[in-house]
Amino acid sequence: MSPLNEALEMAANIIRAGNVVALTGAGVSTESGIPDFRSKGGLWERFDPYDYAHIASFRQNPERVWKMLAELRETLTGKQPNGAHTALARMEASGLLKGVITQNIDGLHQAGGSRRVVEFHGNGQTLSCLECRESVPREAVSDQMPPRCGQCGAILKPDVVFFGEEIPSQAIWGSEELLDNADAVLVCGTSAEVYPASQIPQVVKMRGGKIIECNLSPALNASIVDLRLLGKAGETLPALADLLGV
């Protein structure tokens, strides 16, 4: 048996035995054509995410940040879920996965059939005014760039969590609820470098849970990883779902 097949068997046994939650990041969507922070040729090569996606940059120069946001919106438009998203949805539908905590803002888990999804970093479905707190659904915003608040005229910000911003309390509670009694976390397509989502594997490990890493190459600290399924998530996760018979 190949090392990957052996690891898949072990992962399937862990999943069958307890409460399992998935923590996902940009890597589960690269096979849908959305670049992660490390992909070559993507928009993040031209827009340094730690600069353009920092709340201080938005406050200082929202017009400049909106140039990146407009391109990001184009990048996300029309993208379809891949095998990684649908495999997690299959596991959830069969009762083997409690739900997904995602750092992604692309909505592809829901599009792939996942029902219980905590969007840790929000999504772009609504925009808010940082001046008067007005909240506007995306469809209600005109094509004007950058979009402005109908109440006070300030430039609107999409409700995605920028670096330097707090995680919405709804997302904190949602993920705590999922992680309560979690026996294992499937960490998929994330370098787990962005705080505080990066703490989730460590917290679960400290509570006695197991960590299964599904990344292209090892990204998590070896001291907390119990098992690695290395390879494309769009291949390893469907193989895992098949093995589980779901």
Catalytic residues: 121
Q: How far is the CB of 213 from ligand NAD (least distance, A)?
A: 9
Closer to ligand NAD by CB, 102 or 129: give it.
102
- C-alpha to C-alpha distance for 27 and 127, rounded to whole angstroms: 25
Among 30, 57, 86, 114, binds ligand NAD (CB under 6 A): 30
Closer to ligand NAD by CB, 8 or 219: give it.
219
- C-alpha to C-alpha distance for 135 and 60, rounded to whole angstroms: 21
Closer to ligand NAD by CB, 29 or 110: give it.
29
Question: Could you tell me which residues come within 8 angstroms of residue 42 by beta carbon, excluding any fewer than 6 positions away?
Answer: 35, 36, 75
C-alpha distance across the termini of the chain, in Å: 22
Judged by CB under 6 A, which stretch of 15-23, 132-140, 186-194, 202-210 contacts ligand NAD?
186-194
Question: Could you tell me which residues come within 8 angstroms of residue 86 by beta carbon, excluding any fewer than 6 positions away?
Answer: 112, 113, 238
Binding marks (x or -) toward ligand NAD, 131..170, rule CB under 6 A? ----------------------------------------
Interface with ligand NAD: number of residues (CB under 6 A): 28
Binding marks (x or -) toward ligand NAD, 222..241, rule CB under 6 A? ----------xxx-------
Q: How far is the CB of 143 from ligand NAD (least distance, A)?
A: 22
- 38 near ligand NAD, judged by CB under 6 A: yes
- C-alpha to C-alpha distance for 142 and 62, rounded to whole angstroms: 17
Put residue 117 in one of left, alpha, beta given phi > 0 → left and psi -120 to 50 → alpha.
Answer: beta
Among 4, 18, 31, 113, binds ligand NAD (CB under 6 A): 31
- C-alpha to C-alpha distance for 101 and 234, rounded to whole angstroms: 18
Q: Which of 104, 116, 110, 51 is nearest to 75 (CA)?
A: 104
- Positions 104 through 133 that interact with ligand NAD (CB under 6 A): 104-106, 121
Among 58, 215, 225, 228, binds ligand NAD (CB under 6 A): 215
Q: Which of 138, 130, 148, 151 is nearest to 56 (CA)?
A: 130
**Number of neighbours of residue 148 by Cβ within 10 angstroms:** 16
Positions that interact with ligand NAD (CB under 6 A):
25-27, 29-31, 34, 36-38, 103-106, 121, 189-194, 215-217, 219, 232-234
